[in-house]
């Protein structure tokens, strides 16, 4: 990834930012931390990027990727549940709950989600499924992305030639965080299977009662 960023410059940053925000597991810590290091002359002997350039390209790319994931969730969420609900472990009741959640806590969810491993890659999809207001989603995405990318770029710039060591230390810290999140996801997945099975078993009964 580092060589891709060095060889293709801002285009690489732009594409990686889109991918990471559109459900592709691209580690933004590496992308923009390294880009920040390249805003100094310590790595290659000259500054390949400017801090402002990295920030603008990163935010625009993140916004585009987030909007793609959001629109997929918004346009296909109900249809996916109708056709494959039992396979993707979702019901219309879940979508209703998600919509109420994002109405109440959507701003906080999107902002905080932008700085959490794994979560920031997928947060746009449930926001779309819950039909969070587009304007609100865009504004929050820009703010959250700007803060996160600015932080990573600043750290990379401060690290300079020491970026490789700093990146390794950050990875050591991130690994246990991801492990905890994965364990929580597995536990939640098991609970979802039970919940969807109960919902599927009770729906026909309610339907028969309604036709009487």
Domain ranges of the chain: 2-206
pLDDT of residue 95: 62
- Secondary structure (DSSP) of 141-187: HHHHHHHHHHHHHHHHHHHGGGHHHHHHHHHHHHHHHHHHHHHHHHH
Quote the CA–CA distance of 96 and 129 in Å, as a whole number. 9
Which pTM was predicted?
0.70
* pLDDT of amino acid 120: 75
Residues above pLDDT 90, as percent of the chain: 21
pLDDT digits (tens, 9 = 90+) for 24-34: 777 787 889 88
Backbone angles phi, psi at 49, to 5 degrees: -125, 165
pLDDT given for residue 129 in this prediction: 80
The predicted structure's pLDDT at residue 12: 93
Q: What is the pLDDT of residue 33?
A: 86
Q: What pLDDT shows up at residue 66?
A: 93
For the ranges 39-43, 194-198, 207-211, which has the lowest average pLDDT? 207-211
């Amino acid at each position: 990834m580092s060589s891709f960023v060095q060889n293709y410059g801002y285009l690489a940053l732009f594409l990686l930012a889109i991918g990471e925000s559109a459900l592709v597991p691209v580690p933004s810590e590496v992308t923009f931390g390294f880009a920040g290091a390249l805003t100094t002359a310590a790595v290659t002997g000259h500054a390949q990027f400017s801090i402002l350039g990295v920030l603008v390209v990163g935010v625009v790319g993140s916004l585009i990727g987030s909007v793609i994931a959001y629109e997929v969730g918004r346009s296909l969420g109900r249809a996916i549940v109708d056709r494959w609900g039992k396979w993707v472990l979702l019901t219309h009741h879940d979508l209703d709950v998600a919509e109420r959640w994002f109405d109440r806590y959507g701003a906080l969810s999107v902002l905080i989600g932008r700085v959490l491993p794994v979560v920031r890659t997928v947060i746009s999809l449930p926001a779309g499924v819950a039909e969070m207001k587009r304007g609100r989603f865009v504004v929050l995405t820009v703010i959250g992305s700007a803060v996160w990318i600015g932080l990573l770029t600043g750290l990379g710039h401060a690290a300079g030639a020491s970026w490789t060591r700093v990146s390794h230390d950050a990875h050591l810290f991130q690994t246990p965080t991801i492990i905890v999140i994965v364990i929580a996801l597995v536990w939640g997945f098991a609970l979802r299977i039970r919940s969807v099975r109960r919902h599927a078993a009770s729906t026909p009964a309610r339907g028969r009662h309604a036709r009487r």
